[in-house]
Structures are given as C-alpha cells and as structure tokens.
Amino acid sequence: MPYALPGDRFAHMTKHSSHPEIIKRLKRAEGHLRGIVEMIEGERSCLDIAQQLHAVESAVRAAKKTLIHDHLDHCLDHAMGEPGQDGKAAAREFKEITKYL
C-alpha cells in the first residue's frame, strides 16, 4: 500500500497506464538484486558483482525516469489545465520532482 512521507503534500497517487510496466521492472530488479546477494555470499568475482549491480541500477533508474515522465505528462498537465488550480503550486512540484531525474 502506498504511504506518504512526512510532509508529503501529494500523498495520493493516481494509477497510470505506465504503472504495471514500472512494477514489472522493479520486481525484476528485486529478483536480480537477490541474485547479486547470492553472488556475494558465493564469493563471486567483484567484477561480475559490479556488472550486475550496474544492471540493477540501470533498471531502477529507467523505472524512476518512466514514473517521473508519466507524472509530468499526466498529473502536472492536469494541474496546470484545470480552472482554479494554482499554476505556481504545479511549478513548485515540477521543480521538486525533477531533482530526482
């Protein structure tokens, strides 16, 4: 279940069409990461482990980028286009989320 971080103004998240793909990518990365732990426990070479960690980082980075771009495409467009919405609040949120790109 999603949870809000302390001070999170945007605690409610709307499900978008990209979310199932993001979940699939993250679950795959989760399994990959468990495999890396086993590699470390099995005393595999540091080069092999580093390569696999890089692959997991790339997968998580791609999921994050997709999530953020989806948010920008849907949530902020919606906030900017609705009558009575504060464009400044949407701009602040845009600045806040882009620091994670």
Residue 35 forms part of a structural domain: yes
Residue 10 forms part of a structural domain: no
Centre a 10 Å sphere on the Cβ of residue 71 and count the other Cβ atoms it contains: 19
| Residue showing tokens 């919606």 | 78
At 84, which CATH number?
1.20.58.1000
Q: Greater confidence, 5 or 80?
A: 80
Q: Stretch 12-31: mean pLDDT, rounded? A: 87
Residue 11 forms part of a structural domain: no
Residue 3 forms part of a structural domain: no
pLDDT of 8 > 90? The answer is no
Residue 2 forms part of a structural domain: no
- Which residues fall within 8 angstroms of residue 46, CB to CB, at 6 or more apart? none
Residue 83 forms part of a structural domain: yes
What are φ and ψ of residue 88, in 5° steps? -65, -40
Query: Per the structure block, which two tokens stand in for 13?
Result: 């998240």
Number of domains present in the structure of the chain: 1
Residue 55 forms part of a structural domain: yes
DSSP state of 100: T
Range of the domain at 75: 19-98
- Which residues fall within 8 angstroms of residue 36, CB to CB, at 6 or more apart? 49, 52, 53, 56
Task: Specify the pLDDT at position 91.
Answer: 78
pTM for the structure as a whole: 0.70
